[in-house]
Structures are given as structure tokens and as C-alpha cells.
Structure 1
Amino acid sequence: MSKRLRLAALLAQPLALLALLLAGSIPLHAAETKAPPVKVVIAGLVHGHVNGFLKRAYQGSVEIVGIYEPNREVANRYRERYKFDESLFGTDLAKMLDERKPQAIWAFSNTYDHLAVVEAAAPRKVHVIVEKPLAVDKPAADRMAALAREHKIHLLTNLETTWYSSLAEAHRICVQEKQLGVITKIVGHFGHPGPDRVEPEFLAWLTDPKLNGGGASSDFGCYGGVIMTWLRGNERPQAVTAVFQTNRPETWTTVDDNATLILEYPQAQGIIQASWDWSFPRKDVEIYGRKGIIRTINPTDYDIRLAPAKRPEEKTAAPLAEPYGTSVEYFAAVIRGEIDPSGSQSSLETNLIAVEIQDAACESARTGKKVELAK
């Protein structure tokens, strides 16, 4: 009898299968069943990243049980684009949560509304995932964190760079294995030529300083705050100095399009460059240590130069293992209790520090002075 027929026969005989599993004759994974999908309500459709989520959401890890979007024109456009049933949609978030009973909300609203989503979800014991940044300012972030902790829910932030294997490899080399020795400087570049090609409902709030918390400084500065905090083991900087400016005032009339932040740590610096005025998109990081340098180039490639080498060695990082390679798989695993997100780029603690950095940067840019963070 072939191995396939033998396994089929055993599956029809549960006691025999159990005996062989216990004896180690059949690998445990042959009898494993896939975990049920996590039930999710989407809160908002005005964040353009929702398209990437919807294209991946039906791989079995997530089941969409409701879509909250008060703008009917936007809701109808997405319903037609993805062939959703009309019954999924609603304009009352609290009612939807009570009726659909999701395990999690994934917010694709403007950043200002993240607080309202957590206020609706947390008392109902519904986990929350928001797109970066966590909040528009520190008071909102602190309120969101207090609710999450009080009601014992996960409050997670999705950043694209979390799924970059090049960054994960840099973290392993620099932080876990300390191959670069003492880290003295981290420089991050984040941005693109500008968001003026995005959908109108997305552009409307990206260029509203209240709803977005700023322009490029908020949209891309948050990447630097999170990544530097992650690489520093959730250490808060001692001080922040920032310059925000608008190079294209005819396009960005109310927000900045260029920002530079300098973070001061004991015996180290972090420099964040965020822009809507670059010739191409980029999210790359340079890490300098006393024994060498690592530069991430794109999501998979990086180069490393360790003393006494005269030139860097170019490398490609292996893909991240499941479920760490995609947001949908990862967050589903966290919500099912399979992964502890502590210390990750998506963790609440890391993103609270990143919002504190952003708040200090806004004050520094406004006053022209260095801002010391409270000890």
C-alpha cells in the first residue's frame, strides 16, 4: 500500500492514528488542522493601505465580518471594486461591534480617528490594529494605551517596514549578535515624491494637520521613530531637535513636505529624514557601529562592511518565516495568542515612544529649540 493510501486509511481509524502519532511514526504536522480565521471588522476605508489588506485578507487567516465607513460614496466604490455584499457595510461602529462580535478591528481611518476606534473597541474586548502612526499626538496615544491596558486588548500598529527581511537581518546582526559592536549612529530615510497621486479621500486627510498630525513629518517620520526605538531596545531618547519645512508650498499649503529629526541617546545619535519631495520612494536605514556598518537598501537587500574590510559585502536576506512575513498572518497569530508582539515594531510600547518622539519634534520645529524628554 502506498504511503498516501496508508495515511488515508489511518485517518478513518482515529485510535490507530493516535497510537502512531504518540509513537512518532507519523509527523505531527500531518494531522494538524489550520486555525480558524480571525473575525475582523474594518473601521474606515479612507486610508489607501486598505487596498493591500483587502487583496490579502482572504488567504484564510482573516474573515471580514463588517465594514464601517460613513462616507457612502467611498463605501460603494470599495463594495463594487471587491464585490462585497451590501450587508457587510454599516455607519454605526458600536452597533456593528455588538452585532457582528469580531475578535479585532483593523482601522483604515484617518489617524485622528484612531482614538475613537479604540474607545469603541476596548470596552468590548475587541483587539485593535491601526495603520501607522499610532496616534496624532501623545495625549491621544496615552488615552489609547490606557484603554488597551484597562481592558486587556492588543493595540498594534502596522508599519510596512515590519515585514522587511533586510531590516530583520540588520536587527539580528546589530542587536542580537552585536557584530557591529557599540552602535553610535542610526540614519533613516523615509519618503517618496509626494502623495498627490493617491485617492482623493486619502489625500484629503493626509494634508490636514489635525487629521494626520502633520505632513511628511508625521507620514514618514513615524517610521524612523519606531525603527530607532526598536533597534535601541525601546530606549527613549534624551532629547529631540527637528526642522520641518515646506519646499512646495504651492502643493502642500497647510503641512510640511520635508523634515529632519535628530535624536540624542547616551553616546549615540539617531537621524530621521522624512520627505514628500524625493525623486523616488525609499525606506532605508544605515546603522553605524564601532566595528562596522550595515545599510538596508530595499525590503530584501542590504550591505555590510566589518572592519578591516575595505569594501561592503552585498547580501540578500532570506524571506521571513511564517507568520512573520506579512501583516495579515502576523496579526492573526498575535490575536490567536500564538505570538507575543512585545519589543516588535508593531508593539504598543515601541509606538508610544515613537509618538513621544514625534510630539517633541513638532515642538522643536515650532520653537526652534531642542526639546528634552522628561525622565
Structure 2
Amino acid sequence: MKKCLILLLLITIKAVGLAQEKPIRLGVAGLTHGHVGWILGRENQTDMVMVGIAEPNKILANKLSKEFGFPMTMVFDSMEEMIAKTKPEAVAAFGNIKDHLKVVQECAPKGIHVMVEKPLATTFDDAVKIANLAKTYKVHVLTNYETSWYETNVKALDELKNGTIGELRKVIIRDGHKGPKNIGVSQEFLEWLTDPVLNGGGAITDFGCYGANLMTWIMNGTKPLSVTAVTQQLQADNNPNVDDDATIILTYPNQMAILEPSWNWPIGRKDMELYGTKGAIYADNPTQLRIRISKGYSQFTEETFLLPQRKKPFNDPFSVFTAVIKEELKLPPFNVYSLENNMVVIEILQAAIESAKSGKTIHLTK
């Protein structure tokens, strides 16, 4: 009898373990985003399994099917059909930014969690609607940024909190590349990326969101007092309907941030500089960080750190998404993925667009 009870207990423990290891069923909404390869090429991970794709453009779907090896039988014309046929627990949005609201409207009432590619929305009104849906139906809505995977950004904030460079005074964040057409993005991606409605703007939204996201994280959710922005169109032939270069200035009670999103950088970049009362931190790229400490007027010491990738689950956005859904990970308030952070991001971007159009500084309400 005792042996039977032990055997039954072992079987129960094993069954519970297998249940916990069961992969999250993921649906993909859209294939036009250039970042979609991040999920289509994620075959070697077992925490999440792709069960369906919603994409009406069958030429595009067939092309990606051949490239990544997924069967066309899992491609559906609409999200409604994909959800009904495949019963996903989560959906990753890889279409235009304007459609993020539609994705959440379709998924949230069914209890389906959502991860969107940055930014969260094209307007603050849409962001509020998304947040209300997430709250009403108790689902997670995360926003993915490549810079969320950078160990250098994490170390930079840790060093700042530890007082290494003293009190923070200024942050400069630069993001971008040569421009969508110049780097050869797909036609399907280019069509909406350079559309002021579907993308919400040009470089100001495409890359301005990175700086707004990191700054909101650094400031632990504190909104800037004011937003001032200037935009230019330096490649009118390539980007006739949107800006391709922007400078955004954010002011806080004791700090200032300068965001420089652009489709005119000669070399692609995603870097950040933190300036304090005692020194500076330079997060040059995903793996290299430098710390300079002042030693007089212009002298300084410099230490360079070559860092590894972030540890699991933070090395991969879909691992983070899975861990949050399974309640293995609780993101802190105003974490870079969080809905709270990305609500502030959209408020900043909307103010920046308004400032650039009006030529005036926009003051945000608390």
C-alpha cells in the first residue's frame, strides 16, 4: 500500500511538472513587420509554440513559409478565423502600428495576452483604449524593443542607482539607421512604415520610441515636464509623407534628455549616454559600456566593460512574454516592456509630433 502511494505521488509530481512545462500556444497577427523573423525563426525554443498566423497577403505568407518552413495550412485570412481555429493563449502582433488596437480589441475579451512590436500605438487615445481593455479583461499587453535585451542598458541603470556618476543631469539617446528604403526593408514593411497614419509618423515614432521608453524606465515612470521637438525631411524622395529626422528634448525637474531618432545615420545605432555630477556612462551597443569619472577640468579615468547577453528569460522577448503569462515573472512597474511605461512613451511621442508641427514646447500634465 505504501509503495502504491509513493508511486502515485511520483506520477502526480511528474504530471504537474509536465503541465508546467506545456508550451504557450501563440498566434501571430500579421507578417508585414520586418521584425517578424524573430518569432518565425524561433524553432529551437520549447516554452512557446506557434499555432496560427493571421495574414491576408498570401503571396507574402507563401514567401515567408518557404524561408522559415511553416506550413501554409496555419495561415488564415483574419485574426477572428485564426483564433477560432487554433485557440491561442497569446498573440504577437507583427503588422502596422495602427492595427495594435484592433489586435487587443480582438484578443482581450477572449482572455488572450498580447505582445506588440514598438511602439504601443500611434496615438495616445488608442493607447488609453488598449490599457482599458487590458485592465477590464485582466490580460497582459507588453511592448517589445530590441534595446530591452541590452545588458549594457541594465548595467548603466545599475551604476546610476549605485551613485557611480553622482546625480543624473543629462541623458542623450541616439537611435536609427540610413532609412527604411536605404537598408532594403521589404515593400510590405515600407508601405506602412512611411505612412503617417499606419505608423503614426516617420523616424520620430519609429526610433523616438526607444529613447522615450528608456528615459521613462530610468526615471521610474516620472513624466517629463515639457517636450520640444524639431523634425526634418532630408530624404523627400524616399519618405515623401513623413519626417526622417528628429530631435526631441525632454525636461524634468533636475534632468534633461535629448533623443535623436533618425533615418539619416550613416551607421545604424542604438546607444545611450548618461551624464551625472561626477562622471558619465556610455552604453555604446548591446555589449560594450564605458564609465568615465571626472578627475579635474577635462581629465578623467575610463573603464570599459564587455558584457555578455542578458540571462534567460531576458535574452529573448518571447521568453519574457511566456514567463509573464505563466506568472513565473512579475515585471516591475515602468519596466521597459510594461504597459505603464509605454503609455508614457506614447504621450511623449504625441507631444513631440505636436511640438514639431506647431513650433511650440508642449507641457505635459501630471
**Matched letter for residue 205 of structure 1:** W
Distance 1:13 1:312 in 2: 66
- Aligned partner of 2:291 among 286, 301, 304: 304
**Matched letter for residue 347 of structure 1:** S
- Aligned partner of 1:352 among 343, 346, 355: 343
- Identity across matched positions, percent: 40
**Matched letter for residue 366 of structure 1:** K
Corresponding residue number in structure 2 for 1:248: 235
Distance 1:257 1:172 in 2: 33
How far apart are 1:14 and its partner, in Å? 9.6
- Aligned partner of 1:198 among 185, 192, 203: 185
How far apart are 1:100 and its partner, in Å? 1.7
**Matched letter for residue 351 of structure 1:** N
Structure 1 residues 13 and 323, CA, compared in 2 at 3 Å: closer, same or farther? farther
**Matched letter for residue 218 of structure 1:** T
Distance 1:35 1:293 in 2: 44
Structure 1 residues 124 and 232, CA, compared in 2 at 3 Å: closer, same or farther? same
Q: Which digits, 9 at most, give the CA deviation of each residue in 1:111-167, with x for residues without a partner? A: 010000000000000000000000001011111111011100000000000000111
Corresponding residue number in structure 1 for 2:13: none
**Matched letter for residue 323 of structure 1:** P
Structure 1 residues 368 and 295, CA, compared in 2 at 3 Å: closer, same or farther? same
**Matched letter for residue 220 of structure 1:** F
Distance 1:204 1:110 in 2: 10
Secondary structure of 1:211's counterpart equals coil
Distance 1:57 1:256 in 2: 37
Structure 2 stretches lacking a partner, 5+ long: 11-15
Corresponding residue number in structure 2 for 1:178: 163
Corresponding residue number in structure 2 for 1:8: none
Corresponding residue number in structure 2 for 1:108: 94
Q: Scaled by the length of structure 1, what TM-score is found?
A: 0.90
Distance 2:157 2:364 in 1: 25
- Aligned partner of 1:273 among 257, 260, 281: 260
How far apart are 1:53 and its partner, in Å? 1.9
Secondary structure of 2:180's counterpart equals coil
Secondary structure of 1:208's counterpart equals coil
Q: Which moved more, 1:34-43 or 1:46-55?
A: 34-43
Corresponding residue number in structure 2 for 1:314: 304
Corresponding residue number in structure 1 for 2:247: 260
Q: Which moved more, 1:157-166 or 1:321-330?
A: 321-330
- Aligned partner of 2:355 among 364, 369, 372: 364
**Matched letter for residue 185 of structure 2:** V
Does structure 1 conserve the Cα–Cα contact (< 8 Å) formed by 2:294 and 2:301?
Answer: no
How far apart are 1:201 and its partner, in Å? 0.1
Q: Which digits, 9 at most, give the CA deviation of each residue in 1:60-81, with x for residues without a partner? A: 1211111000112111212222
Q: Which digits, 9 at most, give the CA deviation of each residue in 1:7-61, with x for residues without a partner? A: xxxxx99949x89xxxxxxxxxxx9767221110000000010012211244112
Corresponding residue number in structure 1 for 2:326: 336
Q: Which digits, 9 at most, give the CA deviation of each residue in 1:199-257, with x for residues without a partner? A: 11001101111001111111000000000000111110011000011111122111111
Large movers: runs of 4+ above 4 Å: 12-16, 31-34
Corresponding residue number in structure 2 for 1:230: 217
Count of matched residue positions in the alignment of Structure 1 and Structure 2: 353
Secondary structure of 1:324's counterpart equals coil
Distance 2:56 2:22 in 1: 30
Q: Which moved more, 1:354-363 or 1:246-255?
A: 246-255
Corresponding residue number in structure 2 for 1:323: 313
Q: Scaled by the length of structure 2, what TM-score is found?
A: 0.92
Distance 2:233 2:317 in 1: 32
How far apart are 1:181 and its partner, in Å? 2.2
Does structure 1 conserve the Cα–Cα contact (< 8 Å) formed by 2:35 and 2:94?
Answer: yes
Distance 2:359 2:121 in 1: 24
Corresponding residue number in structure 2 for 1:137: 123
Q: Which digits, 9 at most, give the CA deviation of each residue in 1:241-279, with x for residues without a partner? A: 000111111221111110000001001101100110111
Secondary structure of 1:303's counterpart equals strand
Distance 1:278 1:311 in 2: 29
Secondary structure of 1:156's counterpart equals strand
Distance 2:69 2:90 in 1: 22
Does structure 2 conserve the Cα–Cα contact (< 8 Å) formed by 1:226 and 1:354?
Answer: yes
Corresponding residue number in structure 2 for 1:48: 34
Structure 1 stretches lacking a partner, 5+ long: 1-11, 20-30
Corresponding residue number in structure 2 for 1:5: none
Secondary structure of 2:197's counterpart equals helix
How far apart are 1:316 and its partner, in Å? 1.4
Distance 1:91 1:58 in 2: 27
Distance 2:264 2:6 in 1: 66
Does structure 2 conserve the Cα–Cα contact (< 8 Å) formed by 1:165 and 1:317?
Answer: yes
CA RMSD after TM alignment: 2.1
Distance 1:275 1:236 in 2: 23
Structure 1 residues 14 and 193, CA, compared in 2 at 3 Å: closer, same or farther? farther
Secondary structure of 2:300's counterpart equals coil
